[in-house]
């Protein structure tokens, strides 16, 4: 069974803290994505990675960075958390290849920054 897991379902952090959101996939996929989900705005792409140590900015990378040291793990980092980063964060991983196959999503991490 395909599986994408995220380290926390709920997280509460203070303004200015450094926050790590972890995502692990057991499908040996090369591609991994981080989205942010906000009401009325849908999913917005923060960063994605097509290979180990490779990363590409999405539509809203400001305030975020990522790390992909191993194929199965893709971390999203909030260098200095701010209240406007309170949101649901979704990790996803599709199979590789030329065709855009379906995304397999993790359960999400609901982050609150106070």
Partner 1 sequence: AQTVTQSQPEMSVQEAETVTLSCTYDTSESNYYLFWYKQPPSRQMILVIRQEAYKQQNATENRFSVNFQKAAKSFSLKISDSQLGDTAMYFCASPSQLTFGGGTRLMVKP
Q: Which residue ranges make up the site for partner 1 (CB under 8 A)?
A: 35, 40-45, 48, 58-59, 90, 92, 94, 99-100, 102-103, 105-108
Q: Considering beta carbons, is residue 65 or 103 the nearer one to partner 1?
A: 103
Q: 16 or 107: whose CB is closer to partner 1?
A: 107
Q: How far is the CB of 35 from partner 1 (least distance, A)?
A: 7
Instruction: Work out how close the CB of 72 gets to partner 1 at its nearest, in angstroms, rounded to a whole number.
Output: 18
Close Cβ partners of 52 (under 8 Å, ≥ 6 residues apart): 68, 69, 70, 71
Q: How far is CA 70 from CA 23, 26, 42, 67, 73, in A?
A: 11, 12, 29, 9, 6
Residue 86: count of CB within 10 angstroms of its CB: 15
Minimum CB distance to partner 1 smaller for 42 or for 69: 42
């Amino acid at each position: 069974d395909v599986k994408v897991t995220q380290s926390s379902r709920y997280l509460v952090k203070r303004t200015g803290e450094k926050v790590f959101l972890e995502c692990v996939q057991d499908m040996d996929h090369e591609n991994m994505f981080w989205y942010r989900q906000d009401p009325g705005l849908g999913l917005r792409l923060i960063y994605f990675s097509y290979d180990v140590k490779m990363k590409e900015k999405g539509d809203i990378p400001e305030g975020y960075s990522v790390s992909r040291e191993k194929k199965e793990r893709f971390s999203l980092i909030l260098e200095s958390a701010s209240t406007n980063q309170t949101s649901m964060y979704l990790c996803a991983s599709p199979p590789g290849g030329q065709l855009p196959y379906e995304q397999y999503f993790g359960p999400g991490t609901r982050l609150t920054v106070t």
